[in-house]
Amino acid sequence: MKLPFEPELFGYLINVHLVFEYAAFFFGFRYYVYLKKSTADYISATNRLSILVGAVFGAFLGSRIVGALEDPLALMHGNNWEQLFQVKSIMGGLFGGTLGVELAKKFIGEQQSSGDLFTLPIILGIAIGRIGCFLAGMADFTYGIPTDFFLGMNLGDGISRHPLALYELFFLVVLFGVLASKRSKIKPQSGWLFKYFMLAYFAFRFLIEFLKPNTFYILGLSSIQWLCLVCWLYYTPDLLKKLKNAH
């Protein structure tokens, strides 16, 4: 199959990346609704809605800010500031959404952890989105550096590169399976299903960034890698407390 994959329908080229992006939101949300109906939720409907609003606004701002920080020099060049609302990063969306949820919970006085119900739908949504990223070839910044590795692929520029979108898709499928199997063993409403996801996913993204052709670095690390470290620091107190209680 030639990349980018651009099927034609009634004389129009289909933006496969956009199709999978919408599919990710649709199926991720439908899966969330399914889990909510089949899972005891200790958070009231009103508070859950407030938490969702906080997550949406936090994710929107976080995705744009971190997306811009991936290459801030490009945005400062000429009149590119309007791109601030066009660039986006799933990593910024996840961490920004997390902060948005915590702020919303403080505002409404909600004490229960709320992330576990979102965890598997989020993984499903990201996985579907990564299929679209792969089919988009070089149009989306999810391709890797040139390589002679046997998994290298021509993503549209005639150069064998690491297909990072496929690497991530494989990781997400495995992570989904592991967390789904542990879901019943984790204390309900503990928040640890979501925390395990964040710690695992951000660790994976930290490592895979070394295979990405980044152009902007701070002390040898990309902006995404610094965000990964911030995320781990954010969850360190909870992780240390859990390890202490395990002994």
Q: Ranked by mean pLDDT, which of 43-52, 161-170, 176-185 comes out on top?
A: 161-170
| Residue 20, domain member (yes or no) | yes
| Residue 107, domain member (yes or no) | yes
What percentage of the chain carries pLDDT values higher than 90?
A: 50
pTM, entire model: 0.90
pLDDT at 74: 64
Q: What is the pLDDT of residues 7-39, one digit of tens each?
A: 877 878 888 888 999 999 999 999 998 988 887
Q: What is the pLDDT of residues 54-74, one digit of tens each?
A: 999 999 999 988 888 887 766
> Containing domain of residue 21, as a range?
11-246
| Residue 69, domain member (yes or no) | yes
**Pairs from 153-161 (Cβ < 8 Å, separation ≥ 24):** 153/3, 154/3, 155/3, 156/3, 156/4
CA separation for the pair 125, 225 (Å, rounded) = 22
| Residue 32, domain member (yes or no) | yes
| Residue 119, domain member (yes or no) | yes
| Residue 5, domain member (yes or no) | no
| Residue 2, domain member (yes or no) | no
Task: Please state the domain count of the chain.
Answer: 1
Please give the C-alpha separations between residue 123 and each of 78, 79, 114, 119, 194, in angstroms, as whole numbers: 37, 36, 16, 6, 10
Q: Per-residue pLDDT for 203 more than 70?
A: yes
| Residue 6, domain member (yes or no) | no
